[in-house]
Amino acid sequence: MTSSSAPVVLITGSARRVGAAIARHLHVAGYDIAIHYRESGHDALALQSDLELDRPDSTLCMRADLAEIQRLPELVAGTVSRFGRLDALINNASSFYPTALGETSIAQWNDLFASNAQAPYFLAQAAAVQLRQQQGCIINLVDLYATQPLPGHPVYSMAKAALVMMTRSLARELAPQVRVNAIAPGAVLWPESGKPIAEQEAMIARTPLRRAGTALDIAKTALFLLRDAPFMTGQILRVDGGRSIGM
């Protein structure tokens, strides 16, 4: 595909980790990529440089704090201004940390809900007109803990549960023009703050496929939902090696 005819996807939090893997995989598949980041400017520009070497004029970098609701339409407008279209929105950006009951601050509540529920909703709202025009789709990155709460992380689990319901609700609201689905990863990348080796091994032992997943596992699922699943909407795909069978 040439840049002028390629489908365009906006991916939040796509400078690093799973978001970057999704961006790279979709770019190889012929998508033009709008890379969103908040603090990882160096990584975002490095990713853009790599993608531009493969296909010039196929990327855009945009910085925004997703907690600033008034900035969210700018991400959609910037993408459409650059490429002339928007075919897909992938809500990948997420805050994740523990919030002990009795010690949770309002700031923590607002931060966790802003990235995991509020921003995806208002980005979807801002993108709806363009996505309807392109018969496009939305993919939300949720979590197994949206339905099976993670001890010590009640606010995070609640925010991801809201994102699951958003997925199902918007699948109805935006049908039939726009499909809305979600991916619920299992153990793919360990938290950057670190996870004790014993806990990692115990989690893998509870996983039927007996391994951690990879960011590419998630990226391949995203491409499937974008390109090869025209009769799927309102679904939550658990890409977890079977771990949710026995959580």
Active site residues: 156
Contact 205, 246 (CB under 8 A): no
Backbone angles phi, psi at 111, to 5 degrees: -65, -45
Cα atoms in the Cβ-side hemisphere of radius 13 Å centred on 27: 26
Cis ω before 196 (30° cut-off from 0): no
Contact 136, 130 (CB under 8 A): yes
CA 71/CA 61 separation, integer angstroms: 15
SS3 189: coil
Q: Which of 205, 201, 214, 199 is nearest to 246 (CA)?
A: 205
The token duo for 159 is 């925010």
CA dist 120 to 1, 45, 62, 70, 215, Å?
28, 23, 16, 13, 21
Which residues, 6+ apart, have CB-to-CB distance to 195 below 8 Å? none
